[in-house]
């Protein structure tokens, strides 16, 4: 099982190069596909709703969706990533904390959980099977907001494996989202088919 401290330490080590690592034409094209898909479903809401960004990293979602400071709270386990986010977006609110801490905050209209945050959910241990952990994590996100958007790696790349990622296939994701939401949709990205974009709404 991957410890939260190990995850935080891994991202702390790469925080200073994280944005540059993904500043490639391929990554930018993938970003555009994700942005377009999320905006097609929640475009109007993104302009007016309160947003909780779980695993906010260096603040990708703020740029991607042009979220105003007054409507945004970002949480990440990595102090290094949060520090970079604060340098880039000084007017926005950030906190260092886990998924459990993030979902204890005031309920929001929309919860974002982007670029593999759910892939850090442990896959198994000697007492409970993998679905317990994934289902529990999705349930926490569901309690934190009326709508949830999660981007999950089904087949993580080597860089992501080095950061402690655990793959979650569409069957596991479907079961978790079906248990927590009245309506959900899961689809692989066209430009990055290893990734699945998941929507859930109460």
The CATH number covering residue 131 comes to: 3.40.50.150
* Closest to 7 in 3D by CA, of 85, 122, 94: 122
107 band by pLDDT with thresholds 50, 70 and 90: confident
| Spatial separation of the C-alpha atoms in residues 158 and 165, rounded to whole Å | 9
Is residue 131 over pLDDT 80?
A: no
Q: How many domains does the chain have?
A: 1
* Closest to 99 in 3D by CA, of 80, 116, 123: 116
pTM of the model: 0.92
Is residue 146 over pLDDT 60?
A: yes
| Spatial separation of the C-alpha atoms in residues 148 and 1, rounded to whole Å | 25
83 band by pLDDT with thresholds 50, 70 and 90: very high
For residue 23, the 8-state DSSP code is -
The residue range of the domain holding 27 is: 4-201
């Amino acid at each position: 099982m991957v410890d939260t401290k190990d995850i935080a330490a891994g991202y702390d080590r790469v925080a200073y190069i994280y944005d540059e690592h993904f500043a490639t034409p391929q990554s930018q094209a993938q970003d555009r596909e994700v942005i377009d898909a999320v905006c097609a479903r929640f475009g109007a809401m993104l302009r007016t709703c309160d947003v909780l960004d779980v695993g906010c990293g260096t603040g990708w979602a703020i740029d991607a969706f042009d979220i105003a400071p007054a409507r945004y709270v970002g949480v990440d386990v990595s102090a290094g990533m949060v520090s970079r986010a604060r340098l880039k977006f000084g007017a926005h609110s950030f906190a260092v904390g886990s998924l459990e801490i993030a979902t204890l905050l005031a309920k929001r209209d929309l919860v974002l959980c982007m670029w593999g945050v759910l892939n850090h959910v442990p896959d198994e241990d000697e007492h409970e099977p993998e679905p317990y952990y994934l289902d529990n994590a999705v349930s926490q996100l569901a309690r934190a907001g009326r709508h949830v958007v999660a981007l999950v790696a089904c087949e993580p790349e080597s860089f992501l494996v080095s950061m402690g990622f655990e793959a979650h296939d569409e069957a596991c994701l479907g079961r978790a989202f079906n248990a927590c939401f009245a309506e959900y949709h899961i689809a692989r990205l066209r430009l990055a088919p290893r990734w699945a974009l998941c929507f859930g709404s109460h």
